[in-house]
A and B are shown apart, each in its own frame.
Chain A
Amino acid sequence: MGVDGGTDQGAPPSDGAVVGDELTRVDAEASLNVPSPSGKLAENILYFARALRDAGLPVGPGAVLDAVAAIEAAGVGERGDFHDVLHAVFVKRHEHTLIFDQAFAIFWRRKGFVEKLLAAMSPEARPDKEKSAKAEAGATRVADALFKNAGDDKNAAPSLDLDARLTMSSVEVLQSKDFAQMNAAEIAKAQALVADLVLPEDRLKTRRHAPATRGLRFDPRRSFRRSLRAGGAIDLVRQAPILRHPPIVALLDISGSMAEYTRLFLHFLHALGRERRVSTFLFGTRLTNVTRALQLRDPDDALARCSSEVVDWSGGTRIGASLHRFNREWSRRVLGQGAIVLMFTDGLERDDTRELALEMERLGKSCRRLIWLNPLLRYDAFAAKAQGVKAMLPFVDEFRPIHNLASMADLCAALRGEAVGARFDPRRWLKAA
Chain B
Amino acid sequence: MASSPAPLPTSIDETVALLKRASYVGDRALATVIFLSLKLERPLFLEGEAGVGKTEIGKVLAATLGRRLIRLQCYEGLDVATAVYEWNYPAQMMAIRLAEASGDHDRDRIEHDIFSPRYLIKRPLLQALEIGDGGAPVLLIDEVDRADEAFEAFLLEVLSDFQVTIPELGVVKAETPPIVVITSNRTREIHDALKRRCLYHWLGYPDAERERAILRAKAQRAPERLTAEIVAFVQRLRKQDLFKAPGVAESLDWASALTELDALALDPAQVSDTLGVLLKYQDDIAKVKGAKAQQLIDEARAELKLAEPR
Q: Which residues of A contact B (CB under 8 A)?
A: 1-2, 58, 60, 62-63, 66, 69-70, 73-76, 80-81, 84-85, 87-89, 91-94, 97, 206-208, 220-221, 224, 228, 231-232, 327-328, 332-333, 336-337, 358, 362
Contacts and interface: CB of A to CB of B under 8 A. Distances in A.
A327 to B, nearest CB: 7
B77 A224 contact: no
Contacts of B306: none
Contact of B195 (A92, A332, A333): A92
B10 A70 contact: no
A73 B39 contact: yes
A333 B187 contact: yes
Given A85-B36, A206-B148, A221-B87, A362 B47 contact: no
A88 B200 contact: yes
A279 to B, nearest CB: 9
B243 A327 contact: yes
25 contacts: A2-B10, A62-B196, A70-B36, A73-B39, A74-B11, A74-B35, A80-B28, A85-B36, A88-B33, A88-B199, A88-B200, A88-B201, A92-B192, A92-B200, A93-B200, A94-B186, A206-B148, A208-B150, A220-B89, A221-B87, A224-B89, A228-B111, A228-B114, A332-B187, A358-B283
A206 B11 contact: no
Nearest to A70: B36
Contacts of B209: none
Contacts of A91: 200
A407 B11 CA distance: 64
Contacts of A84: 28-29, 32-33
Interface of B: 10-12, 28-29, 32-33, 35-36, 39-40, 47, 76-77, 79, 81, 86-87, 89, 92-93, 100, 107, 111, 114, 148, 150, 186-189, 192, 195-196, 199-202, 241, 243, 283
Contacts of B35: 74
A362 B283 CA distance: 10
Given A333-B187, A333-B188, A337-B76, A73 B40 contact: yes
Contacts of B196: 60, 62-63, 92
Contacts of B28: 80-81, 84
A93 B195 CA distance: 8
Nearest to A324: B241
Contacts of B192: 58, 92
B249 to A, nearest CB: 17
B81 A1 contact: no
A76 B187 CA distance: 35
Contacts of B148: 206, 208
Contact of B76 (A69, A206, A328): A206
Nearest to A63: B196
Contacts of A358: 283
A231 B40 CA distance: 49
Nearest to A335: B187
Contacts of A88: 29, 32-33, 36, 199-201
Contacts of A74: 11-12, 32, 35-36, 39
B32 A81 contact: yes
A206 B36 CA distance: 38
A206 B186 CA distance: 21
Contacts of A220: 89
A88 B12 CA distance: 13
A144 B150 CA distance: 42
B121 to A, nearest CB: 12
